[in-house]
Every structure is written in C-alpha cells, then in structure tokens.
Chain A
Amino acid sequence: AQSVTQPDIHITVSEGASLELRCNYSYGATPYLFWYVQSPGQGLQLLLKYFSGDTLVQGIKGFEAEFKRSQSSFNLRKPSVHWSDAAEYFCAVGPTSGNTPLVFGKGTRLSVIA
C-alpha cells in the first residue's frame, strides 16, 4: 500500500537559516510527488510537484525539492527561511496514471524564531 513518512513532527529554525524537511514514500512504481503548505486556518497550497524529468524541482516561495529514487525520498529545502514560512508542511504521493487519490504524510510543523 502507498504510504508517506515525514519523520519530523516539529522543526524550529532561526530566520535566515537553511531548512530541510524530510519525506520518504512507499509506492509500487514511480509516483507523482507533491509538497503542500498549510497556514493556520487555511487550506493546503501546492508548493511544488515532481512527475518526470529533472529530479530537482523548483517551487513557489523559494522552495525546492529533490527526488531520489534510490532512497525513495523527496526532501524539501529552502536556503534561507523567512518568518512567514512558519506553517505545516505535507508531503503527498499519487499515481502517474489512473484515478487513485493522493496519500498524505502526517505533516511537519515549522516554527521560525528570530
């Protein structure tokens, strides 16, 4: 069965510091991979997605993620965090064909300190 693991429940970083959020997935084939962000009281907003080609994908708000097939990982990175990046981040996996819905990880809550 498909599954997504986000091993870090909560991460705190200083403003201006670099960030890496981990995501590992279990899937029968190469999936589509997504990172979503959720600010308090809001729905989920897509940060970036991978479905083919270059394994390093760029997203909105200065985020990037790298797909590593050998490690079944899709870690999210940002070189310099801003206070407004404080939010919940969800990794999700979906099929490259068919109509199977996305499966989400439990999320990583990011806090940013001055």
Chain B
Amino acid sequence: EAGVAQSPRYKIIEKRQSVAFWCNPISGHATLYWYQQILGQGPKLLIQFQNNGVVDDSQLPKDRFSAERLKGVDSTLKIQPAKLEDSAVYLCASSLGGGRGTGELFFGEGSRLTVL
C-alpha cells in the first residue's frame, strides 16, 4: 500500500515570495491534515479536511496561507507571501476518518521550507 506522498521535499525561497506544497493521501482515507512543525517543536495543526470539506482551519493564518482539496483526494497548501517565521517542515497526514479506525494518522515525509 502506498503511503502519503508529498512534494517538494525541500524548498528555499526569499521572504514575500510564494510557495505551494502538494500532498496525496493514502487511497481511501477521507481525512487529510496539514501540520506545521517548527524546529524543536511538535507538529501543530493548520487545517483538516474531511473529503473535500474543511473541518478545522482555526489555526491557519488565512491572510497568507490557503489550502484546498477540490476533489477530495490530493491537496495543495499555499503560502503567499512567505515570512521568515514560516520556515518549518510542513507535514501532510491522512486517516480513515468518518468515525472509522482508531484515529491513527499516517504521515508523509514532509516538505521542508526555508525562508531567507
């Protein structure tokens, strides 16, 4: 079974530029999450999708971050314009969702963003 796929693995940009990250979850997983992991900290939820609907985006900085999951499968997270403090690893995770399973999240390898 293929795992959660993310790209790109690494990205270096200058502040005020834009960047986009892509995630393809495990087949059949209804719930998709984007977490931000700043160096030395645990993952912090940015946004959660159930199929193609947003369940929780309360911690997403909506003035600069946006995310979509149009067809309920893969997802894109965009940052525009980037700030220095956005330097982090962006982790995508998926789960069965819909009350199925035990809530276990399956993670991709992450996309490391460096903002100069």
A83 to B42, CA, bound (A): 23
Query: Is there a chain A Cβ closer than 8 Å to B20's Cβ?
Result: no
Q: Is the CB of A43 within 8 A of B108?
A: yes
Query: Is there a chain B Cβ closer than 8 Å to A56's Cβ?
Result: no
Binds A, one of B66-74, B77-85, B99-107: B99-107
**Total count of chain A residues near the partner, CB < 8 A:** 27
A68 to chain B, nearest CB (A): 20
**Total count of chain B residues near the partner, CB < 8 A:** 29
| Residues of chain A whose beta carbon lies under 8 Å from any beta carbon of chain B | 4, 32, 34, 36, 41-46, 49, 51, 90, 94-107
A43 to B102, CA, bound (A): 20
Q: Is the CB of B42 within 8 A of A101?
A: no
A22 to chain B, nearest CB (A): 14
Contact of A32 among B33, B40, B43, B102 (CB under 8 A): B102
Q: Known contacts A36-B107, A105-B42; can you find 17 more A-B pairs with CB under 8 A?
A: A32-B102, A32-B103, A41-B109, A41-B112, A43-B91, A43-B109, A44-B91, A45-B107, A46-B106, A98-B99, A99-B48, A101-B56, A101-B105, A104-B43, A106-B41, A107-B41, A107-B42
